[in-house]
Amino acid sequence: MPLWYDFLSLVFPRTCESCGNTLHRHEQCICNFCNHHLPRTDFHEHPDNPVAQLFWGRTMLRYATSMFYFHKGSNVQHLVHQLKYKGKQEVGVHLGKLYGIDLRQSPLFSTVDVVVPVPLHPNRQRKRGYNQSEAFAQGLAHGMGIRMDTRTLLRKTATSTQTRKSRFLRWENVKEVFVLEQPEKLANLHILLVDDVVTTGATLESCVQNLLQCPGATVSIATIACALK
């Protein structure tokens, strides 16, 4: 890289969005240390993992996975916070690209045809400026070499925050807020539904129930992190 890049790095140092340490030239968003030490789940290699079990008896899924374990105060929480509240869309895209490569090589997810992010209500997306789940989905689609669809699954109703709600209240909050536009576009496809963090699974469950209305479609789930109790 040119000398001016080194100068800019001194004046405006690039830092790891996980730990805050300075990034080296070849590092993007996350330093190599964090990339190798963040708590990966490897759930994409195990069909009966805890995220998949969360949906047993609730909805029909092919597979489910999360990239990382989520714990309060952890570097993973900091990463998600940077993505969701600090405008760092590049975090989601970068994580998606990394995980997309893993999923492309997984026998469970290698047949996925299209990536669909959990949608935000248009008003909330305008206020935030972007959809954090879409950023992750964009990276996943790139890493897996498939397309992303943001026009079929839509959110018709703005809902209150899910934080601190029980599983029942979360389900009540989202059970009728999503709709499908031209569901035939996803007919007979293996759909990968994408969100940032899965906790109770209420939002994802509601989305899956809608996507299963696409004729012949099957649905799997991938999230950046899982915060399961």
- The pLDDT confidence band at residue 26, using thresholds 50, 70 and 90, is confident
pLDDT for res 179: 93
Which pLDDT score, from 0 to 100, does residue 224 have? 98
- Provide mean pLDDT across the span 95-111: 98
Domain ranges in the chain? Answer: 1-37, 39-226
Count each helix (H run) and each strand (E run) in the chain, helices first: 9, 7
Q: Determine the pLDDT at residue 160.
A: 55
Confidence (pTM): 0.88
The predicted structure's pLDDT at residue 4: 44
- Greatest alpha-carbon span in the chain: 59
pLDDT band, residue 171 (cuts 50/70/90): very low
Is the confidence at residue 187, as pLDDT, over 80? yes
Q: 167: pLDDT confidence band, cut at 50, 70 and 90?
A: low
Identify the CA nearest to 191 among candidates 221, 226, 166, 223.
221
Residue 12's pLDDT is 60
229 token code pair: 């109790």
Q: Which whole number is the average pLDDT over 162-190? A: 75
Name the pLDDT band for 2 (thresholds 50, 70, 90).
Answer: low
Comparing 87-101, 165-179, 200-214, which segment has the lowest mean pLDDT?
165-179
pLDDT at residue 5 tops 50: no
Q: How far apart are CA 62 and CA 117, in angstroms?
A: 17
CATH architecture for segment(s) 39-226: 3-Layer(aba) Sandwich (3.40)
User: In this predicted model, what pLDDT tens digit does every residue of 114-140 receive, in sequence order?
Assistant: 999 999 988 889 999 999 999 999 999
pLDDT tens-digit readout, 151-164: 999 998 866 554 55
Task: Tell me if 113 sits within 8 A of 189, measured CB to CB.
Answer: yes
pLDDT greater than 50 at residue 8 = no
Give the DSSP letter string of 152-168.
Answer: SEEE-S-----TT--HH
How does pLDDT run across 35-60, given as a tens digit for each residue? 999 999 999 999 999 999 999 999 99
Average pLDDT of the chain is 90
